[in-house]
Amino acid sequence: MATARTTDLPTVYQPQHVEERIYRFWEEGGFFTPDPSAKGRPAFSVVMPPPNVTGSLHLGHAWNNTLQDILVRRRRMQGFDTVWVPGTDHAGIATQTRVEKTLLAEEGLTRHQLGRAAFVERVWAWKNRYGDLITRQVRALGASCDWTRERFTMDEGLSRAVREVFVRLYEEGLIYRGNRIINWCPRCGTALSDIEVEHRDLPGRLVHVAYPLADGSGELVVATTRPETMFADVAVAVHPEDPRYRGLIGRMLKLPLTDREIPVIADEYVDREYGTGCVKITPAHDPNDFEVGMRHQLPAPRCIEADGRLNDTAGAYRGMDRETARRRVVEDLARQGLVRKVEEISHAVGHCSRCDTVVEPYLSEQWFVRMAPLAEAAIAAVRRGELQFVPERFERVFLHWLENVRDWCISRQLWWGHRIPAWYCDACGGITVSRTDVTACSHCGSSEVRQDEDVLDTWFSSALWPFSTLGWPDATPDMARYYPTSVLVTAYDILFFWVARMVFTGLRFTGRMPFHTVVVHGLIRDAEGRKMSKSLGNGVDPVEVIEKYGADALRFTLATGTSPGNDQRFYWEKVEGSRNFINKVWNASRFVLMNLGDGPLPPLRREALTIADKWILHRLALTVQAVDASLDRLDFGEAGRALYDFAWDDFCDWYIELSKLSLYGSDEAAKAQTRAVLVHVLDALLRLLHPFIPFVTEEIWRHLPVHDAPALAVAAWPQAEVADVDERIARQMQVIQEAIRSVRNVRSERNVPPGKPVALAVRVQDEETARLFAEARPYLMRFCQLHTLDIGTEVAVPAHAVTAVVTGAELFIPLADLVDLAEERQRLEKERDRLAAEVERAEKKLANPQFVARAPAHVVEAEREKAANYRSKLEAVEERLRALAEGV
């Protein structure tokens, strides 16, 4: 791209005119695809948490991608062989549900009416549409991922990885099929894993129901919250040592509303304190009861079917839904005089995390992953320190979950997903699990085989993402080069869903952690602190933010709002602030470009620098160090804030203003020197800012007369110039800034019109300070609007002057008519009190022998300096007050 004329740059940065073009420039330039020549350099690889193809991105994705992009872009600029693999997730239930809803709304059809093949085709169409939308949005964010490596969880290659893992786990006995109690969502019509169930405390009724003894000699009262499941009761359990019921063990009870009889059994599972101490046992509809049933070899009849309605077992209640049946059963029991008590209680009820329907513990044949050995390996590896959590506290949560994890139900009664690679033989009943499609039973050879109808849990394929995207199970060059990946960035809400599963599959199948570091960030909330959700309608569309303020503004907001592991709230005002910052950088750059002059840029020569030059280079060096340190420990917020402060306060408010002295002067050599410094600092600043706000920095950088790379995106990351760190210069500059601020303060407080020049007399303490003020003379003249400036150790106090005391000097501003002596005395007295308090504080500290003896020497020394400084200022103020009293 040719360098445009800088005068063409608008005074307000317009991201809408820049971002799309810049992204195209990057992508067409291939800057995000690893350069084969980089092979000699260390690798840095990241896999993007794949967004669901359900719909579109939300702010959480924007945040997540921003953080990753900051890491990736910096590493790329640091010369690493960098790759960031993007992609999307098929999101089984979520996507299927969306398509089903659309189908019903638009065509009035259910998926069953359409048929499996046709339905799956519809979902693919949806995937293509929304997958594209999402990748466009990821581009709009400026994510520097390698689109040539884009993956989808149902790609051919990734599907092969899924089958490979399934088959190997099956062969190793870590996947099994079993008839177990699982969480069933009657609305979604599928099994769920434990973590897809959300428990919420809800008010409920604990109904005490009398079960009469079969011989009519009495009754047992059971307490239940689920009376509608009584048709599937197979026993009533009591504690073996409960004296109330010991004699009844083995007796038979009449199951009310039925003509069945069930036994009283003894099991230690029963809590004697709770309810009546008698528990009805319903193995098919309660996980604990299932365990009890197993121990006692009881049958497990079902009375509720997959659709959440009662079946024939329930006799007259057949066809009713759970709620209705519950009400009717209690009514009927009451009518028969069998309800002894109804307690209002609060209890946790499981809800489908997808659709919020109350889940039904449900006995059915499902596929499971045996977790114990896998979790054990993962725990051991984490304990060995093979995985770092940032912040650390998430390690405990992670381990706790793994330590208590139960077998993972992986089969889903859905159509959208990876079909389970198991075939059942109608001839011999055998199961064949295979990497390739099966046409003949592996046990009897019969061709009457049919594949399992179900698909796998979405997270089964996401669990393989870090290696399946790199080509596993094949030994690809990418696997060799980029696996394990360098870091994973994710929100804490999918630690168990995703991170834990990647860890144990990674360990099992590649023998390594899929990443050595996990950066865990929080969730984005609305202005009231509520989670953003579709049902609340409080979500903010990142595309809308980008259209209004630009992707850079959104990114900068999210990055600087990051505090490790914590949530952040979204405010439009924050985005506006970021937009303003970006505009500030834009205009500072315009200033530099407009003042470049015609000739070639002179080299930066450090031997002829002004105090201002040295100071800004000092500040820059410290900023590079701060940004590097923050990013090295993955603290994005701190890094962003350090850049904000440097760019706005140091560079714009001070250095650019100071640079105008020479730029608008006539000393050509000084002018050239200033230009060199301006360009040097701006160039470094743009490089440092680039990972945060890539678009605007790339756009500006094109105009800079710096051409060591084809794009800022692949330009070298700045090195901290340690030699530029100069504390003496920093202290000197501080004195000058203090003086300038003091005079400005006086002018403002005395209502001196901004345009009106005043005189300033500076009485300095020593020759060194005199030289400093002499050097700073032009700065003071301009910044304080002076017409005269006297500097010396012996300068006289002008008449009607306002006094300000700074480190090493007294400033006198004669204001004649504007000075009210009484007011001036008051002002100085206030200043005297403030200084006296400071002196007292410091001296008290120094008077404490323990402090002097035990505190580190440099702290004591710093305290002495402070005390001396304040004492000297205090003396000057007091002397001035004495003089005023004498009418001087």
**In the complex, least distance from residue 252 CB atom to RNA, rounded to whole angstroms:** 20
**In the complex, least distance from residue 732 CB atom to RNA, rounded to whole angstroms:** 16
Q: Any binding-site annotation on 534?
A: yes
Q: How many residues belong to the chain?
A: 888
Nearer to RNA, 34 or 350 (CB): 350
Supply the DSSP string of 142-154, one letter for each residue: T----GGG-EETT
Nearer to RNA, 226 or 614 (CB): 226
Nearer to RNA, 273 or 727 (CB): 273
Supply the DSSP string of 481-526, one letter for each residue: HH-SBS-EEEEGGGIIIIIHHHHHHHHHHHSS-SBSEEEEE--EE-
Dist CA 128 CA 111 (whole Å)? 19
Q: Give buried/exposed letters for 327-341 (b at 16+ CB in 10 A, else e).
A: ebbbebbeeeebbee
Side chain identity at 381, as an amino acid letter?
A
**In the complex, least distance from residue 52 CB atom to RNA, rounded to whole angstroms:** 19
Nearer to RNA, 279 or 676 (CB): 279
Half-sphere exposure of 852 (CA within 13 A, CB side): 9
Residue showing tokens 């049919």: 450
Nearer to RNA, 152 or 695 (CB): 695
Encoding tokens for residue 85? Answer: 């693999």
Q: Does residue 599 contact residue 713 with C-beta atoms inside 8 Å? A: no
Q: Does residue 430 contact residue 472 with C-beta atoms inside 8 Å? A: no
Strands (E), 94-174: 151-152
Dist CA 448 CA 433 (whole Å)? 15
Sign of CA dihedral 480, 484, 488, 494: positive
Dist CA 518 CA 17 (whole Å)? 36
Nearer to RNA, 243 or 755 (CB): 755
Q: Does residue 688 contact residue 621 with C-beta atoms inside 8 Å? A: no
Encoding tokens for residue 688? Answer: 């440092």
Short-list 315, 274, 92, CA closest to 188: 92
If one counts every other C-beta atom within 10 angstroms of the C-beta of residue 646, the result is 25
DSSP 8-state code for residue 593: H
Nearer to RNA, 722 or 857 (CB): 857
**In the complex, least distance from residue 60 CB atom to RNA, rounded to whole angstroms:** 14
Q: Where are the alpha helices (DSSP H) in 633-667?
A: 636-645, 657-663
**In the complex, least distance from residue 125 CB atom to RNA, rounded to whole angstroms:** 34
Dist CA 184 CA 305 (whole Å)? 10
Bridge partner list, 849? none
Nearer to RNA, 186 or 277 (CB): 277
DSSP 8-state code for residue 717: P
**In the complex, least distance from residue 754 CB atom to RNA, rounded to whole angstroms:** 5
**In the complex, least distance from residue 649 CB atom to RNA, rounded to whole angstroms:** 8
Short-list 288, 286, 230, 293, CA closest to 265: 293
Dist CA 479 CA 50 (whole Å)? 19
Supply the DSSP string of 172-211, one letter for each residue: TT-EEEEEEEEEEETTTTEEE-GGGEEEEEEEEEEEEEEE
Nearer to RNA, 198 or 332 (CB): 198
Q: Does residue 537 contact residue 526 with C-beta atoms inside 8 Å? A: no
Residue showing tokens 């990057």: 26
**In the complex, least distance from residue 238 CB atom to RNA, rounded to whole angstroms:** 9
Nearer to RNA, 88 or 568 (CB): 568
Nearer to RNA, 216 or 755 (CB): 755
Nearer to RNA, 470 or 553 (CB): 553
Supply the DSSP string of 375-441, one letter for each residue: HHHHHHHHHTT-SEEESTTHHHHHHHHHHH---EE-EES-SSS-B--EEEETTT--EEE-SS--SS-
Dist CA 861 CA 856 (whole Å)? 9
Nearer to RNA, 100 or 638 (CB): 638
Encoding tokens for residue 469? Answer: 């995207």
Axis crossing angle, helix 116-141 with helix 542-549, rounded to the nearest 10: 30
Q: Does residue 82 contact residue 119 with C-beta atoms inside 8 Å? A: no
Short-list 682, 695, 679, CA closest to 582: 695
Q: What is the 3-state secondary structure (H, E, C) of 307-341?
A: CCEECHHHHHHCCCEHHHHHHHHHHHHHHCCCEEE
Nearer to RNA, 702 or 741 (CB): 741
Dist CA 819 CA 196 (whole Å)? 75
**In the complex, least distance from residue 372 CB atom to RNA, rounded to whole angstroms:** 15
How far is CA 819 from its chain centroid? Answer: 56
Q: Does residue 114 contact residue 103 with C-beta atoms inside 8 Å? A: yes
DSSP 8-state code for residue 715: S
Q: Does residue 465 contact residue 153 with C-beta atoms inside 8 Å? A: yes
Dist CA 678 CA 653 (whole Å)? 13
**In the complex, least distance from residue 187 CB atom to RNA, rounded to whole angstroms:** 20
Nearer to RNA, 230 or 772 (CB): 230
Q: Can you say which residues are annotated as belonging to the binding site for ATP? A: 534
Q: Can you say which residues are annotated as belonging to the binding site? A: 534
